[in-house]
Structure 1
């Protein structure tokens, strides 16, 4: 699809769409047209990214890892270095509750490559780290972009994956050979966004209980937004494998410790890299690596933190990473942090 005027914000009227990307689609709005050569390059990046990191593709590196009965050495593209660094940081920051090895739990709960949405027969005895499931920290050895395993490991990079691809796409737009480039842009990958705009862009905060409504609005000129909610990926299974015992509601945001869906949070929104009026893009904290990753991959960090907030409280995360956030708990009680560029509707 070629860029076309009139489909995005008034200041960024040209739209370039990749409808099948990551299962949610990616739309890039720009203030100037994206040329055919640049669009083709963006498309190739998306395809190679998915062929490496999608657990839903049978030809991906992740599929090879899951099939490797004796493990092995698996080399990923060089651009995955930052993704793996971010997972290292968030794995530690959440005490292992955010763990890409949760892919095995998702598969046992029915959200695997075949998408049966049925519990596997061995689910109860194997879910989570507490039941001996492989972990990122103990069963995957890293050497740059090479991952080494001793047996089959099912990884899922969904907690950061969309945001990380957005950052890679933004890097391509920022370094285009065209002297004027595409100008300002807004990249939207299913709600994970990176914005570089001449004026504030209004973004609706989707109601996790009614996808046709909004619970608030965010206004951003620059920076990255990550949003998480189980609303679009949820299903029910017979409790105890027997429909007579009733149905159990499941969704894709799991605590990797016990392998079960998180119940206490309904939705989160995280902003990273927004400029204040002085042009400052957020306070630098104690760990230089965390600050470097926040600058290089703001959308991936926002994406990952929006999931991490389902698992741990914001205070510990705020000691390591520069961000602002808002959330709704299971009672629909709203919480908004200092510096969050949005607000919930009253009433």
Structure 2
């Protein structure tokens, strides 16, 4: 498949299609990704959500925000509050801030969601209102949603055989499956198994991806403001990348059976001591 590769939102993207993308479509993909980053980035002072960190307020978000925050509502409830899009302040306190200082000031629990913020769909827009200053961080599911939005753009343009890969988040369509290695979280040169991906999304989350200091990384329990230390990595197969991405994060805090009450998915979860748990259909993908 011809590839279209670029760097955006802090990761490497590869869009693979059976037929080459036109220059117009490549530009449309880049503009879509740039607009998403310009809306949600907590690292950019010109982003839509950036002013909410300084003072309570109201911002208009794209129509797709309704689905994103609906997913956060559900994951927040099922995780008992551990998954929370207001966790950005906790990440900043731990050193993962706009300046990338990586200097920790100690844990700080995130404001409650949705008590500190509310959203409502108004026609084709979504309005997000906050009652206190909040630092929004949609990293738990946002990259997956952006993969879905790029995927949908390409499908509308007539592409039927394609893969959108944004770092560890992929969505595939086509007649032949892809073989995707599950990277060992403690040794990037090794894999703990191989997953066949066809017509679904595969998203991974790992504590080693953005790690600094002693035990500090980007997967933070919003209830405590601390990085998770019991789970090392997760992988989730689902019908769309936003759901797979959100569930891959939620599995750091939540029992798979609890999540399965609301979602259909397959998973592998690797604990910090090297043990792995997985859904029945994933048993054959792991190496012994």
The TM-score bracket by the shorter chain reads over 0.9
Q: Secondary structure at the match of 1:339?
A: helix
Residue aligning to 1:208: 185
Structure 2 residue runs without a partner (length 5+): none
Residue aligning to 1:157: 138
Residue aligning to 1:327: 269
Q: Distance in 1 between matches of 2:284 and 2:252?
A: 20
- Is residue 2:118 matched to residue 1:148? no
Q: Secondary structure at the match of 2:232?
A: strand
- Is residue 2:40 matched to residue 1:53? yes
Q: Distance in 2 between matches of 1:196 and 1:90?
A: 26
Residue aligning to 2:6: 18
* 1:183 equivalent among 152, 156, 160: 160
Q: Distance in 1 between matches of 2:100 and 2:75?
A: 27
- Is residue 2:193 matched to residue 1:250? no
- How many residues matched? 284
* 2:104 equivalent among 110, 119, 133: 119
Structure 1 position 342, deviation (Å) = 5.5
Structure 1 position 341, deviation (Å) = 7.9
Give a deviation string over 1:211-243, Cα, whole Å, max 9, x none: 12111111122101110101121111xxxxxxx
The equivalences for 1:304-319 within 5 A come to: 304-319=246-261
Q: Secondary structure at the match of 2:177?
A: strand
Q: TM-score under structure 1 normalisation?
A: 0.79
Q: Distance in 1 between matches of 2:43 and 2:135?
A: 11
Residue aligning to 1:85: 70
Greater fraction helix: 1
Q: Is the 8 A contact 2:13 2:164 kept in 1?
A: yes
Give a deviation string over 1:109-128, Cα, whole Å, max 9, x none: 000111100013xx35xx11
Structure 1 stretches of 4+ moved >6 Å? none
Structure 1 position 37, deviation (Å) = 0.8
CA-atom RMSD, angstroms?
1.3
Structure 1 residue runs without a partner (length 5+): 1-12, 237-247, 274-297
Q: Is the 8 A contact 1:220 1:341 kept in 2?
A: no
